[in-house]
Structure 1
Amino acid sequence: MKKLYTLLLLLPTMLLAQNSKTACEVVNKINKLIQKEHVSPKPIDDSLSVFVFDNLIDQYDPSRNIFLRSEYNLLAKKYRLNIDNLILKNDCSFLNEMVSLYRNGLERKKLALEQLQLKTLNYNQNDTIRFYKKSFPIYMKENEIEKVWNKKIRFEVLNEIASSSSNLDSLQANFIILEPAAKEKIISNEICQTNSLLATESKPEESLYNFFCLYFDPHTSYFSNDSKSTFVASLSKEHFSMGLTVSLNDMNEIIISEINPNGPAFETGKLKKGDKITAVFNQKEKLEVSCSSLQAISNMITSESNKKITLSLQRNSGKIFDVFVEKKIMKDEENSVFSFIIGEESKVGYIKIPTFYADLDGTGAAGCAEDVAKEVYKLKKDNIKGLVIDLIDNGGGSMEEAIKLAGMFINTGIISIVVDKTQNQLLINDPYKGMLYKGPIVVLVNSNTASASEFFSAIMQDYNRALLLGSSTLGKATMQTILPLEENKMTDFLKLTINKFYRITGKSHQYNGVDPDVILPEFYENIYQKENNFPTAIKNDSIIPSVKFKPFVKRDLINHLAQNSAKRVAADDYFKNIKSINHTINELLDRSKTELPMTLLAIQKQNLITADLWEQINKYDATSNPLDVYNSTINKFLLGIYPTEKTINQYQIDNLKNNPYLNEAVNIINDYNTSR
């Protein structure tokens, strides 16, 4: 019995050691594959060690209230410059030490919060709080734990109360009544989140894998079998779904906002629009919404591996009830190509491409390019005089689909140059002869236009086949492929950057993005995270091409149209006001390092500024000269056959009627037609 007891005590340590060894074996396999296939591999040295260590710390303690300064210093001294050497030695035991200290920190946090529950907080002391845009040094000492959490909870309570009403006098008069409930809510949620983290099985090895990959570039990453399936499904317009849409209400609660009448959620007959989701259960793990991250909730709901989901719901503050939903394969209408016609006289066609989806599972479903071809055919039947291709917020997808799509609008020739790690240049030819459509084209882009959509946009611009309208794109000109770490073992995979794309001019939009011919202001344009914001992004370069190509029209015509458009944009009040609001947003963000007094007045004032700005953005609309948006003749006929699609069709029309970006695209096409 004594031997058995000793063995049980040693078992957790033995398991950690075993996991540590396995983790290092996987990392070394990742490194071997990266060094062999990556377009620009780096050596394993101190730079990698610092990068991995700092990212692990930021993941475990982003707000700097878990680790003590002494614990951080101990870890940094032992590992910050040594992880590279330990990995090469097959020793990843540093993960165990980091996780152990992290869990100790969570226990400390929980104890401090439980003690604060029993204490009366003093809101009258002179104090300030400071917010940081980026991570900052770990400063917490053992004798300051209660002080740190006391300050954080006081701020959260004041913020909770300040957010409940704009009437400051009423809040101050009723503060003593409001404070206990707000304090209990804030502390209970913090404890609940902490318990959830402590109860969750830690998988630090997956964090190590991904940070190791991220060191080489932002798009190389590790996939388990489940995450690979989810990623592949995201490139398809058909995937397992519950058939419902959720949103956050003013109280940051998750609410069912839409239920697809063709989906499994609707078929249960038990869900209603407006129901509040309180918990999500995937038959293995249950996540309480009140104390789980939105990312964790989202992952559980959308994961392809979670085909059976139980939702805990509450309706009108009544009793909580459970509904079991089994996902089924559904067409994602919001993520599929669709088209309309703008104007009765000018008749400009409009095609929205949300993503470059593809039939990766071989189910026979049409890819993005084929769907676009169908919509172009429908629009041509109505004799359109021009075409707008909308790639705003298109994050990319299948490069094969982007190549096909470019080929449909380019007559013939080389469309891109691909370079691998050996610097070999592979020319990509237009896969089709002739053009699907020969009229004028405007392509709409923005800061979220990325990858395959940038690739397509650059080709259209270089061939003078379209005028690009919008803002500079994200800046990704690399291609990834998914490879197994071991050929005969389909459990661990690597999404690996293997190629760089260059334009037929020899230039690249990697890191810098594709610059449109006419720049349109957009909300948050200085906030969007672009390729050049990632510290490990591959830098921009160029090559000397040996490609001859014939532009569709002379560049002088594109420049003439761009100049006329720029004059209209400069005089437009809508775009002027966007610039003004963006200036206010930037000022607000730049104040993030200033100290904010810990008073109800100061916090409410700050909240009102943010709320007012958010209201300006949400209510800001271009109401003058609404566009005449309607369905093509063929699509009208199809809506008669499939009436369930009328709701989303009308929603799409309503969103386009007052779209100033589309309005300017139509102006450009009309300008083109009158100048020819």
Structure 2
Amino acid sequence: MLKQLTLLSLLCCFLSVQSQDQPEFCEQLQAIKALVKKEHFKPKPIDDSLSVGVYKLFLAQLDDKKRFFIQKDIDVFEKDRLQLDDYIANNDCAFIDEYSEILVKRIENAKQIIHGFSKSKFDYSGKDTLRFAPDAAYTYLDDNTETINYWSKRIRYNILFELIEQDSIIENLSANFKKEEKEIKPKIIQKELCKLEELQNKNGGLSQFVKEAFLNAYVAFHDPNSTFFNATDKTTYVNSLSNDQLSFGIITNKNDKGNIVIAHITPGSPAFINGDFETNDIIKSLQANDIILETYCVSNDDIVAFINDENNTTITFKIKKQNGTLKDIELTKTKTKIEDNTVTGYLLKDKANIGYISINNFYSDFESPNGLGVANDVAKELYKLQKENIDALILDLRFNGGGSMKEAADLSGMFINRGPLSILKYGNGDTFTIKDTNRGSLFMKPIVILINNFSASASEFFAAAMQDYNRAIVVGSTSHGKASAQVILPLDEDSQLGFSKLTVEKFYRITGQSHQSVGVIPDIQLPNLYDNFKTEERFSSFALDNDSIEPTLKYIKLKALPLKALETKNRIRVGSNLAFDAVKSLNTLIIDNYFELKTEYPLTLQNVYKNMNAYHSQWELFSDSINNNTSTLVVSNTSSTIEVLSYNNEQKEVNEAFLKTIQNDIYISEAHYILLDLLNLNITD
């Protein structure tokens, strides 16, 4: 009875706080409604269609795995499916409380269920059945009995999974099962409880999480690249696209024990200069502006958000050292170079001297309209590579999610001699052609551009322009298919209500065609681990349509590239390459075991072991074929980089790892062979 009264008191307190906070949510909702209508590329009317779409997205954000809400809750929520548009139009925000209240109860209920397992004995006899199905097949649990059964199976499976990971010999597992299960059970239970408490301890609390989830759903209904940002989200996003930022120079991670640890310290940063921080130090708490964030059962995302909060310029870190001592260390942010947002040129030597540059991000200096970013950095590295007399160049845009369109345009201009690069179309129908106005180019020798499913936006802008001019051979797999541009806008004049990243324009190729929801299709396609993962934009709800417009300016193509001859040689090489065969097999293995898995079997140690062992055996077989790929490439640094490295022993170690990674990368190796073929064809022409 006491527990019930305590929970009731907490709920009452929670709802009281909600009622006080609701006016701000109403202001945010009305502000974001007005902003979308005014600024979005294609705002949608507030009607029943919007209501249905936002309802679907909202529930998915609150309970994406359908493990909290039960069918009774969905029946309660169902009244809103066709009413959300009316609530929004009438500025009626009371509906949001019900979702928060029920989510709080369901998470608390899950915690009580899991707590209860501590005192009960689990059944591994096979009486219960494990069922696996694709995500789309999941339905909400019928009632609390199903909820108890779900968590029981989940924790039992996780216990067996962990035991098998620790000892891969079934005879040992069977012989020691009772003892090992007894030891690991409380750890697994605590880990599950901690995950739930992470949700409860989210920055701003569950009530704020629910409200921001609705704002996100409202904006995402207009297109999947538009989103709501609170102040911390906005700072984190802008920093990710910046070449340098105010930073402590600490990258955190959550280890297997649930501790927040220091994973990396950026050289030259405040943490590096301080000298008291070391990798693997445990962060116990963070304190800034009279706010203390304890790190127990808090997600790493919330730690990152606290550290990146632009108001928290000085933070006191409570650190537990490896010897067990505790230290309070105060740090103040300074401008720090972002290591991931830098480019370095490398040399690939094998029958030709080929340059290689990987571009992770189209970063820029957003504090200045003329700020220097990735295009300037690539130009510097290209200058170093040309001093080494390179014959060709590989630009690697795999996993590059985009960034600044200005940087993409500047980079494109480095490789062509004037002309249009892309056509922008605004919401009112007006168009504008982005042009390279500078005569000449920095590099006129052959280029291969590597892309994959995760190359998006500014990456696609650049790859498409180079492809349309016949300036480069695009190699890899079809890109993400995002041909839209976003800006971050405040919801109010003093930015107190937050921000929204909104899609305000679409961009088209200079041919007038769009790669929106289609992607840039490579000239030469290579097998990809991520094929058919359905991560591309066309699989996102409410993605913008593909269309085309009339081109505005003529452009002069360069001489056609001998793509058929190159593709023939490539096909022969790939067909006899065991590593690419392994990529295709690994891709099938992942799809069959994760995305399209549909199987069931009795919950026993032997059955879970059999299932896991079959998967792991195949994984090791295929991944070994990829990792053991031998290459004749000799990868080295430019003379300029070698000189810089001579003063930095730590960077030397990092550099050695990069050289090895490049040498063993089958995609870089194949890009290199394609360029060798092209150079040979050009010589014989």
Residue 662 of structure 1 deviates from its aligned partner by 1.8
Q: Distance in 1 between matches of 2:282 and 2:82?
A: 45
State the Cα distance separating 1:183 from its structure 2 match: 2.1
Query: Residue 208 of structure 1 aligns to a residue in which SS?
Result: helix
Whole-angstrom CA distance in 2 between matches of 1:288 and 1:10? 27
CA distance in 2 between counterparts of 1:246 and 1:95 reads 33
TM-score normalised per structure 1: 0.90
**Taking structure 1 as reference, are residues 393 and 259 closer, same or farther at Cα in structure 2, changes over 3 Å only?**
same
Q: 1:178-233 deviations in whole A, cap 9, x for unaligned?
A: 22222212222333444454455220221111111100011111122222222111
Give the corresponding residue for 1:573.
578
Change (3 A) 1:605 1:629: same
Return the match for 1:408 from 414, 431, 438. 414
- The range that moved more, 157-166 or 38-47, is 157-166
- Between stretches 154-163 and 388-397, larger displacement belongs to 154-163
Residue 497 (structure 1) aligns with = 503
What is the alpha-carbon distance in structure 2 between the residues aligned to residue 271 and residue 488 of structure 1?
Answer: 37
* Range moving further from structure 2, 579-588 or 508-517: 579-588
CA gap 1:179/1:658 in 2 versus in 1, 3 angstroms: closer
Once the two structures are TM-superposed, the CA of residue 344 in structure 1 deviates from its matched residue by 6.7
* More displaced 10-residue stretch of structure 1: 452-461 or 654-663: 654-663
Per-residue CA deviation, residues 537-569 of structure 1 (Å, 9 max, x unaligned), is 1021112224311112224x3443333333322
Provide the C-alpha distance between the structure 2 equivalents of 1:592 and 1:345, rounded to a whole number of angstroms: 46
Partner of 2:221: 215
Deviation at 1:494, TM superposition (A): 1.7
With over 3 angstroms needed to count, the CA separation of the structure-2 counterparts of 1:464 and 1:120, relative to structure 1, is: same
Secondary structure of the 1:486 match is: coil
Aligned to 1:564, the other structure's residue is in SS state helix
TM-score by length of 2: 0.89
Q: CA deviation at 1:521?
A: 1.4
What is aligned with 2:7?
none
What does 1:159-174 correspond to in 2, within 5 Å? 159-174=161-176
**SS at 2:364 equivalent:** coil
- In the TM superposition, 1:519-558 aligns within 5 A as 519-527=525-533, 529-555=535-561, 557-558=562-563
Separation (CA, whole Å) in 1 of partners of 2:506 and 2:302: 33
Deviation for aligned residue 1:610: 3.7
Deviation at 1:482, TM superposition (A): 1.5
Q: Which residue of 1 aligns with 2:49?
A: 47
Describe the SS at the equivalent of 1:592. coil
Structure-1 separation of matches of 2:464 and 2:232: 34
Distance in 1 (alpha carbons) for counterparts of 2:579 and 2:125: 45
For residues 113 and 250 of structure 1, the distance between their equivalents in structure 2, rounded to whole angstroms, comes to: 19
Question: Counterparts in 2 of 1:70-149, with a 5 A limit?
Answer: 70-76=72-78, 78-134=79-135, 136-149=138-151
Q: What is the DSSP-based 3-state SS (H/G/I as helix, E as strand, rest coil) of the residue aligned with 1:443? A: strand
The answer on 1:609 being equivalent to 2:614 is yes
Give the C-alpha shift of residue 666 in structure 1.
Answer: 2.0
> SS where residue 401 of structure 1 aligns?
helix
Q: In the TM superposition, what is the alpha-carbon distance from 1:286 to its structure 2 partner?
A: 3.1
Given that 2:348 and 2:635 are in contact with CA atoms closer than 8 Å, whether structure 1 keeps it comes out as yes
User: C-alpha offsets along residues 611-666 of structure 1, whole Å, 9 cap, x if unaligned?
Assistant: 33554565432542331112223333333455653333322212112222222222
Compared CA separation, residues 306 and 39, structure 1 to 2 (3 A): same
Query: What code does the residue aligned with 1:337 have?
Result: V
CA contact (8 A) 1:256 1:276 kept: yes
Partner of 1:460: 466
Q: Structure 1 residues 411 and 156 mapped into 2: Cα distance closer, same or farther (>3 Å)?
A: same
Q: Which residue of 2 aligns with 1:561?
A: 566
Residue 149 of structure 1 aligns with an amino acid whose one-letter code is W
Q: Check the 8 A contact 2:135/2:595 in 1, yes or no.
A: no
Larger mean Cα displacement after TM superposition, 12-21 or 455-464: 12-21
Q: Output the CA distance in 1 between the equivalents of 2:233 and 2:678.
A: 47
1:418 maps to which of 424, 433, 453: 424
Report the more deviating stretch, 403-412 or 230-239.
230-239
Is the contact made by 1:484 and 1:492 (CA closer than 8 Å) also made in structure 2? Answer: yes
The residue correspondences of 1:348-387 to structure 2 (distance < 5 A) are 348-362=354-368, 366-387=372-393
Q: Percent identity?
A: 35
> Distance in 2 between the 1:581 and 1:398 partners?
34
1:156 aligned residue: 158
Q: CA deviation at 1:71?
A: 2.3
Q: Write the letter of the residue equivalent to 2:181.
A: E
AA paired with 2:382? Answer: V
Counterpart of 2:293 in structure 1 is 286
Q: How many residue pairs end up in the alignment?
A: 663
Task: Tell me, yes or no, if the aligned pair for 1:229 and 1:305 is still in contact at 8 Å.
Answer: no
AA partner of residue 508 (structure 2):
Y
Q: Given that residues 230 and 305 in structure 1 are in contact (C-alpha distance below 8 angstroms), is that contact kept between their aligned partners in structure 2?
A: no
Contact 1:415–1:503 (CA under 8 A) maintained in structure 2: yes
Letter of the aligned partner of 2:608 in structure 1?
I
Which position in structure 2 is the counterpart of 1:35?
A: 37
1:358-384 deviations in Å (ceiling 9; x for gaps): 011249973111111111111122221
| More moved, 346-355 vs 186-195 | 186-195
Distance 2:126 2:566 in 1: 62
CA distance, structure 1, for counterparts of residue 538 and residue 245 of structure 2: 32
Quick one: distance in 1 between partners of 2:307 and 2:547? 41
2: CA distance, partners of 1:643 / 1:320: 29
Corresponding residue for residue 5 of structure 1: none
The AA in structure 2 aligned to 1:310 is F
Whole-angstrom distance in 1 between the partners of 2:212 and 2:245: 25
Tell me the secondary structure at the aligned position of residue 340 of structure 1. strand
> Secondary structure, in 3 states, of the residue corresponding to 1:500?
strand
Amino acid at match of 1:654: K
Cα 1:84–1:192 shift into 2, 3 Å: same
Deviation of the 1:497 alpha carbon: 0.6
Q: Secondary structure at the match of 1:481?
A: strand
User: Is residue 2:490 matched to residue 1:484?
Assistant: yes
- Residues 448 and 528 of structure 1 are in contact (CA less than 8 Å); yes or no, is this contact kept in structure 2? no
Q: 1:336 Cα shift?
A: 0.5
| 1:233-382 correspondence to structure 2 within 5 Å | 233-245=239-251, 256-273=262-279, 275=280, 277=282, 279=284, 281-283=286-288, 284-288=291-295, 291-300=297-306, 306-307=312-313, 308=315, 310=317, 312-313=319-320, 315=322, 319=324, 321-322=326-327, 324=329, 326=331, 327-343=333-349, 346-362=352-368, 366-382=372-388
Q: 1:672 aligns with which of 674, 678, 681?
A: 678
Query: Structure 2, unaligned stretches of length 5 or more?
Result: 1-9
1:254, distance to aligned residue in structure 2 (A): 6.2
Letter in 1 for 2:83: N
Partner in structure 1 of residue 3 of structure 2: none
Change (3 A) 1:255 1:336: same
For structure 1, which runs of at least 5 residues remain unmatched after alignment?
Answer: 1-7
Partner residue in 2 for 1:67: 69
Aligned equivalents of 1:458 and 1:640: distance in 2? 39
Let me know the Cα RMSD of the aligned residues.
2.9
SS in 1 for 2:432: strand
Amino acid at match of 2:191: N
Counterpart AA for 1:286: L
Alignment match, 1:594? 599
1:402 match: secondary structure: helix
Which one of 422, 433, 441 corresponds to residue 435 of structure 1?
441
Shift of 1:173: 1.9
Aligned-pair distance for 1:164?
Answer: 2.3
**Residue 393 of structure 1: aligned partner:** 399
Q: CA deviation at 1:476?
A: 0.6
CA contact (8 A) 1:241 1:329 kept: yes
Deviation at 1:342, TM superposition (A): 1.5
**Distance apart, 1:429 and its partner CA:** 1.0
Contact 2:533/2:595 (8 A) holds in 1 = no
- Residue 414 of structure 1: how far off its partner (Å): 1.0
Per-residue Cα deviation, 1:21-50 (whole angstroms, up to 9, x for no partner): 432332222122212221111112223222
Matched with 1:509 is 515
Query: Residue 467 and residue 253 in structure 1: after superposition, are their counterparts in 2 closer, same or farther (change >3 A)?
Result: farther
Q: Hey, what does 2:587 align to over in structure 1?
A: 582
